[in-house]
C-alpha cells in the first residue's frame, strides 16, 4: 500500500468522491491537524448536516503527523525560497510539503502552486 501526505485540497477531493483521487484514498494518508482544520471549514460550509460525521471519518482514516520545531523551521525556509521563485504557498501547505519530504512520501495535491515541484503528486 502506498503512502501519501494529503494536503487539504486532496482531502476535500477525496470527500467529494472525485474519481481521480479514489486510488490515493485507498493508500495510507498522513496529514496534520492544520489540514484537518482547513478541511473542517470546507466541510461545514458544503455539508453542514453531515459535517461532524465526515470530520470523524477523515480523522479515523488518516495518520495525524504532529510537526516539531524542525518541521516549522524547514517549512518557513521552503516557503521563503518558493516565494522568491514566484510561488505563493500558504504556511500550512509549506508545512505539509516539508513533512512529506521528511517522511519520504509524495505530497498529494491539486493546488496549482505545486504543479511543477519535485516530490509532488499533482492530481486534478
Q: Are 31 and 100 in contact (CB under 8 A)?
A: no
Residue 38, pLDDT > 80, answer: yes
Three-state secondary-structure class, residue 67: coil
Taking the C-alpha atoms of residue 76 and residue 12, their distance in angstroms, rounded to an integer, is: 25
The answer, yes or no, to whether residue 85 has pLDDT greater than 70, is: yes
Which residues partner with 108 through β-bridges? 6, 121
89-114: buried (b, 16+ CB within 10 Å) or exposed (e) per residue? beebbbbbbbbbbeeebbbbbbbebb
pLDDT in tens, 7-27: 999 999 999 999 999 999 999
Mean pLDDT calculated for residue range 42-48: 96
CATH number of 3-122: 3.40.50.1010
Contact 36, 10 (CB under 8 A): no
Amino acid at each position: 500500500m502506498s503512502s501519501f501526505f494529503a494536503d487539504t485540497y486532496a482531502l476535500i477531493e477525496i470527500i467529494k468522491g472525485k474519481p481521480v483521487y479514489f486510488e490515493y484514498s485507498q493508500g495510507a494518508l498522513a496529514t496534520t491537524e492544520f489540514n484537518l482544520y482547513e478541511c473542517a471549514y470546507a466541510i461545514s460550509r458544503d455539508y453542514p448536516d453531515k459535517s461532524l460525521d465526515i470530520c470523524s471519518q477523515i480523522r479515523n482514516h488518516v495518520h495525524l503527523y504532529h510537526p516539531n520545531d524542525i518541521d516549522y523551521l524547514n517549512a518557513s525556509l521552503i516557503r521563503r525560497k518558493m516565494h522568491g521563485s514566484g510561488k505563493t504557498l500558504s504556511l500550512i501547505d509549506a508545512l505539509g510539503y516539508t513533512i512529506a519530504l521528511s517522511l519520504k512520501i509524495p505530497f498529494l495535491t491539486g493546488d496549482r502552486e505545486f504543479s511543477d515541484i519535485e516530490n509532488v503528486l499533482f492530481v486534478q
